[in-house]
Amino acid sequence: MKNNKFPMIFAASALVAGLLAPVSSQAASATMDKIKSTGAVTMGVRESSIPMSYTTGDSRFDGYHVEICRMILGDIKDKLGMSTLRINYQPVTSQNRVPLVQNGTVDIECGTTTNNTARAKDVGFANTLYVEEVRIAVRANSGITSISQLAGKKVATTTGTTSVQLLRKHEKANGVNFDEVFGKDHADSFLLLESGRADAFVMDGSILAGNIANSKNPKDFKIVGEVLATEPIAIMVPKNDPEFRAAVNAAIAKIVANGKMPGLWNKWFLSPIPPKNIVVGLELSPATKNAWANLNDKPAEDYNKK
C-alpha cells in the first residue's frame, strides 16, 4: 500500500504545479491593468529640458524622450488590444519626479533623469537611448574655460540634480571653492547665468545646449571645460512592475530594430524644433550610438568606472 501512495502524491503535485505555472509565468502588470481599465496613462514630462522634454506652450509637451515615450505607449496600446489611449501629461521637477513615479501618480517619466544606483532603489529604468555628458555653460566673454577657474565664482544648478556633486568630486576641482546658487528648474538656472547672478551653469550638455539655443542671444554663451561625468539618461517606470518595464523595453527594441533612432536624433538635435524653430546643434555621440547598438539599463556608476 505504501508504494501505491507515492505515484498518487506525485500526480497530485504535478497537477497543482501545472495549474500554477501559467499564473506565475504570466504575472499581471498593475500599470498595464490600470492603463487598460482607465483608457489613460500619465506621462511625466519636464517643462524646460530642451530638446529632451519640454513645453511648447498651451499645456503641450514634446521632445526627444517625449516622442519616444509616445511610440512606446502606442506599442503598449496595441498589445493591450485598445483602440485608443489618452495620454495625460504631468509636469515634474528634479525634486518630485522620483516620488511621483513611486506613488503611482506618474506611470512613465520621460524627462532627463540619470539612471544611478541610488535612484534604482526606488524606481525602475528602461534601457538607455541617450547618454549624456555633464558640462559647464558660461558667458562667452567670461574667460572661464576650465573647472579650476571657478574658484570664488557662483555656480548655478537645478534643485534636485546631481550636477554640482559631480563637479565637486572631479579631480580638477580639488581646492576650488565656489558658491552654489539654485534654480527651481533648468530655465530658472539658466536665467541665473543669463542675468549675471551666476558665473556658470553646470548641467547635462543637451540641457545647456537647448537653453543656449533658446536664449535671446545664443552667441553670448558657450559650453566649456572638462566632461564632469558620462551619464545614461533613461525613462523611469515603477520599480515594482517588472512586467511593465519589460513591455517598455520590448517597444524600445522594436524602435531601434526598425532603424528609427537616427531620424529621431536628427529631428530633435540637428533640425529646427518648435515652438521657436531653434536648432540645438548637438551631434550624435559615440556613447549614445553604442547604447542603441547594445541596449542595456546599466547605471551611471558603470559608465564612470576607472
pLDDT in tens, 251-296: 999 999 999 999 999 999 999 999 999 999 999 999 999 999 999 9
The reported pLDDT for the residue numbered 306 is: 61
In this predicted structure, what is the pLDDT of residue 19? 43
Domains of the chain with CATH codes: 30-129+234-300 (3.40.190.10), 132-231 (3.40.190.10)
Strand partners, 136: 202, 224
Q: What is the pLDDT of residue 74?
A: 98
User: pLDDT for 66-117, tens place per residue?
Assistant: 999 999 999 999 999 999 999 999 999 999 999 999 999 999 999 999 999 9
Is the pLDDT at 11 greater than 80? The verdict is: no
Q: What is the mean pLDDT of residues 174-186?
A: 92
Its pTM stands at 0.80
Contact (Cβ atoms closer than 8 angstroms) between residue 47 and residue 185: yes
Q: Kindly write down the DSSP assignment for every residue of the chain, as one continuous string.
A: -HHHHHHHHHHHHHHHHHHHHHHHHT---HHHHHHHHHSEEEEEE-SEETTTEEEEETTEEESHHHHHHHHHHHHHHHHTT-S--EEEEEE--TTTHHHHHHTTS-SEE-S--B--TTGGGTEEEPPPSEEEEEEEEEETTS---SGGGGTT-EEEEETT-SHHHHHHHSGGGTT---EEEEESSHHHHHHHHHTTS-SEEEEEHHHHHHHHHTSS-GGGEEEEEEEEEEEEE--EEETT-HHHHHHHHHHHHHHHHTT-HHHHHHHHHSS-BTTTTB----PPPHHHHHHHHS-----HHHHT--
Q: What integer pLDDT is reported at residue 305 of this predicted model?
A: 79
- Residue 266 is predicted with a pLDDT of 98
Range of lowest pLDDT (57-61, 243-247, 251-255)? 57-61
Residue with cell 489613460: 40
Per-residue pLDDT tens for 109-137? 999 999 999 999 999 999 999 999 889 99
Residues 19 and 51: their CA atoms lie apart, in Å, by 50
Here the cell at position 175 is: 581646492
How do residues 137-173 score in pLDDT, each as one tens digit?
999 999 999 999 999 999 999 998 878 888 888 878 8
